[in-house]
Structure 1
Amino acid sequence: MAEKTGELTDSPESTTVVVIGAGPAGLTVANLLRRSGIDCVVLERRSREYVAQRQRAGIVETRAVRMFDSWGLADRVLGGIPYDGILELRVDGESHLVSDNDGSEGPRARLCPQQVLVQKLTAVYLADGGDLRFEAADVSLHDLTGDRPTVRYRTADGALRTVSCAFVAGCDGDHGISRTAVPDGALTAYAQDHGIGWLTVLADAPPPAHPLLAVSPHGFAAHFPRGPQASRYYLQCPPDDHPDAWPDARIWDALRTRLADPALPVGPITDRETFRLRSLVHDPMQYGRLHLVGDAAHIVSPMGGKGMNLALHDADVFARAVRDAVRDDDDTALRSYSQRCLRRVWNDQEFSHWLTRTLHDAGDAAESGPFHRNLARARLDRLLTSPAAAHAFAELMTGLDLTE
């Protein structure tokens, strides 16, 4: 935003990293930098109360738990409830339990809703003396290809501020300002619309014993825990459906049918929305001294729970690269940041796409066609009967340990 005539800013501040966005990606970057003794400023356009209540993903995968553990943060930031690593696949009403235990040693995945992780990351960062500025409006990025980029913003009381830095971490999501600061043509976007819609429902109802994915001729459904007495449900629907097309009675009837559970307990529905399943990757994930982290660089279909976990991986790679550059004057990891992150991004995109197509195509033959339905059923049969296939699935669920 251009400054108004006669409007003055304070003298520019200086820091090593400006982090745009206080979601899981931005707060993880900030905490890891803080642990490395590197100063940073976090700018978030929303209020603290709004950010703390955003409901999103619920599983911090094994690889991400071990990442936090390696930084000495796991006990401080990972709340939620214990997760035994068992996923239930219910196919035409028949239950199959699949484990994500890949045989590796160390702490396991956690059921930790995004808002709990964000609240804890925020509290730890502030308790450790971090600089986190909410309600930062009109953020703009400048001189990204120079030695000292600047970030300008407006405080809640309307004052203009400028911060100069060595690096900018763009952690403000798919619709944030970070990626729009990159000139047209500098990034290549790879997009995929899966042609599938989901209705997502949050309800005060008992959670399942295990995260549950269900396949039936009536369409895909899922049931996930979101707390001791809260559940998140997903129902396949037409991509352009509106939440108003799904009154409470229709939701519970569809869930009972697709989950093959006529006695499914009900509860007050506190939120519902519809969205299209899509995937998006921007390459490269850096421009000058701007590094895109998490959803600012890539969106993944929610199947497989990889979105937030990819953001946490990006944050770890970026923080370690900045530490190398600042502490050891070695920018090798920063220069290869995009290449290293995108290897995992495409690996998880492929897994998510495979699981999305398998569980949706295996259901309604009228939707997928008989040929694709039988292919999907064959993939499910292989997963549920082959130890090798089950092990490969477990590796992908835990976060395949790709060699960096």
Structure 2
Amino acid sequence: MRTQVVIIGSGPAGLLLGQLLHTYGVDNIIVERKDRDYILGRIRAGVLEQGTVRLLEDVGAAARLHREGLIHDGIELLFDGVRHRIDMKEATGGKTVTVYGQTEVTHDLMDARVAAGRQTIYNADQVTPLDFDGPSPRVTYVKDGVTHEIACDYIAGCDGFHGVSRQSVPAAALKEFERVYPFGWLGVLSETPPVSPELIYARHARGFALCSMRSLTRSRYYVQCSLEDHVDNWSDDQFWDELRRRLDPEAAEALVTGPSIEKSIAPLRSFVAEPMRFGRLFLAGDAAHIVPPTGAKGLNLAASDVHYLAEALREAYTDKSSAGVDAYSARALARVWKAERFSWWMTSMLHRFDDTDEFSSRIQIAELNYLVSSRAATTSLSENYVGLPY
């Protein structure tokens, strides 16, 4: 087989890139290690920046989002037992975020790809990007015991943190930056109405908590826990009791509980790999960077990477210019590091660390008090949360 661009990975990053390239008339094939149902079964974040929503609109995959997504003008910060609302729309001159699950985004993009007649190869084993340091890259894979090869012009690695794309880069060509946080998030998904119309970020002496949602009838809640903890140690009742302890009295009283649909513990880390281009191989999304979910940036960073990469490849084919390709890594990383900073800051301000002494605790409270009382600080948080410009 031959195509112009091979995309490794059919998560939101790979699917969105495929649809953007399709709108630009660039032929592409997606190669995916798992099957479609496995990908749709992954539970992920669901706060979308306006830039991400615009990209979904551009590829014709936003109709259901506009019907079912929840537009949020602000968030609530809870500390010292009191909630404070941050009006992001007012602080940013009208910008908002949309709550819409990543699983739904993936489903919509899959449907758009089928409608476009573009090819996705699922259940591809031993996917290997080759010869990307020269003019004729290729990707090999094994399916049903038979080895296949796709010749191409470019390879886009959108296969996540554990994917083969970054692992195929020579170690000497890659510089990695990482911070692993000493805690995780125990998350529960339930068919219950959200406790609040907007997300609540809670800083508590017992640890961080987040009240989020997927819809008006489905809620997503998190509590900070130890990395050594295990979901089997938490019954649903134990989880709800612990969440109540970390909320203000009004929210604790209003909390509607129910059986968990899904329960898991996610470790938190900050990670960046530089550069994001190696010859004709490009990294995008989690293949190149990870952020702690506190700042709601993971999926949105993947979308901005894909925006830069799709524009670069369009220029390469339409304008016969390598300027966009050459600038891709620097452009993407400039935005990545700003999102890494914001996510690290939110995490540091709201979580309980093992070495937190009384001084550090007072600093966190002072930071939060300044944040909710200063227009400049509120604007800074809001600008980052709704998404910095591309």
Q: Quick check: 306-315 or 254-263, which moved more?
A: 254-263
Alpha-carbon distance in structure 1 between the residues aligned to 2:273 and 2:65: 29
Q: CA deviation at 1:70?
A: 5.1
Are 1:171 and 2:172 an aligned pair?
no
2:314 alignment counterpart:
323
Aligned CA RMSD, in angstroms, stands at 1.8
1:121 alignment counterpart:
109
Q: What secondary structure, in the 3-state scheme, does the structure 2 residue paired with 1:205 have?
A: coil
Q: CA deviation at 1:132?
A: 1.2
Q: CA deviation at 1:67?
A: 3.5
Q: 1:190 aligns with which of 168, 173, 177?
A: 177
Q: CA deviation at 1:308?
A: 0.7
Question: Would the aligned equivalents of 1:222 and 1:259 in 2 still touch at CA under 8 Å?
Answer: no
1:6 alignment counterpart:
none
Q: Percent identity?
A: 38
Q: CA deviation at 1:76?
A: 6.4
2:208 alignment counterpart:
220
Q: CA deviation at 1:103?
A: 3.4
Alpha-carbon distance in structure 2 between the residues aligned to 1:97 and 1:75: 30
Alpha-carbon distance in structure 2 between the residues aligned to 1:252 and 1:97: 23
Alpha-carbon distance in structure 2 between the residues aligned to 1:372 and 1:62: 35
Q: 5+ unaligned residues in a row in structure 1: which ranges? A: 1-12
Question: Would the aligned equivalents of 2:186 and 2:223 in 1 still touch at CA under 8 Å?
Answer: yes
Taking a change above 3 Å as real, the CA distance of residues 329 and 77 of structure 1, as seen in their structure-2 partners, is farther
Taking a change above 3 Å as real, the CA distance of residues 78 and 134 of structure 1, as seen in their structure-2 partners, is farther
Taking a change above 3 Å as real, the CA distance of residues 356 and 186 of structure 1, as seen in their structure-2 partners, is same
2:126 alignment counterpart:
138
Q: CA deviation at 1:159?
A: 2.5
Q: 1:180 aligns with which of 154, 167, 170?
A: 167
Taking a change above 3 Å as real, the CA distance of residues 352 and 100 of structure 1, as seen in their structure-2 partners, is same
Alpha-carbon distance in structure 1 between the residues aligned to 2:311 and 2:233: 47
Alpha-carbon distance in structure 1 between the residues aligned to 2:58 and 2:88: 21
TM-score by length of 1: 0.91
Q: 2:78 aligns with which of 87, 90, 106?
A: 90
1:5 alignment counterpart:
none
Taking a change above 3 Å as real, the CA distance of residues 23 and 199 of structure 1, as seen in their structure-2 partners, is same
Q: Tell me the number of residue pairs that the alignment of Structure 1 and Structure 2 aligns.
A: 385
Q: Tell me the amino acid that sits aligned with residue 164 of structure 2.
A: I
Q: Tell me the amino acid that sits aligned with residue 287 of structure 1.
A: F
Question: Would the aligned equivalents of 2:313 and 2:325 in 1 still touch at CA under 8 Å?
Answer: yes
Q: CA deviation at 1:367?
A: 5.1
2:92 alignment counterpart:
103
Alpha-carbon distance in structure 1 between the residues aligned to 2:356 and 2:57: 42
1:3-402 equivalences in 2 (<5 Å): 13-69=1-57, 73-75=61-63, 80-101=68-89, 102-104=91-93, 108-155=96-143, 157-208=144-195, 209-260=197-248, 261-361=252-352, 368-401=356-389
Q: Quick check: 240-249 or 112-121, which moved more?
A: 240-249
Question: Would the aligned equivalents of 1:77 and 1:121 in 2 still touch at CA under 8 Å?
Answer: no
Alpha-carbon distance in structure 2 between the residues aligned to 1:286 and 1:68: 24
Question: Would the aligned equivalents of 1:294 and 1:310 in 2 still touch at CA under 8 Å?
Answer: yes
Q: 5+ unaligned residues in a row in structure 2: which ranges? A: none
Q: CA deviation at 1:99?
A: 2.2
Question: Would the aligned equivalents of 2:62 and 2:108 in 1 still touch at CA under 8 Å?
Answer: no
Cα-to-partner distance string for 1:38-63 (whole Å, 9 max, x where unaligned): 00000111111111221101111122
Alpha-carbon distance in structure 2 between the residues aligned to 1:129 and 1:163: 18
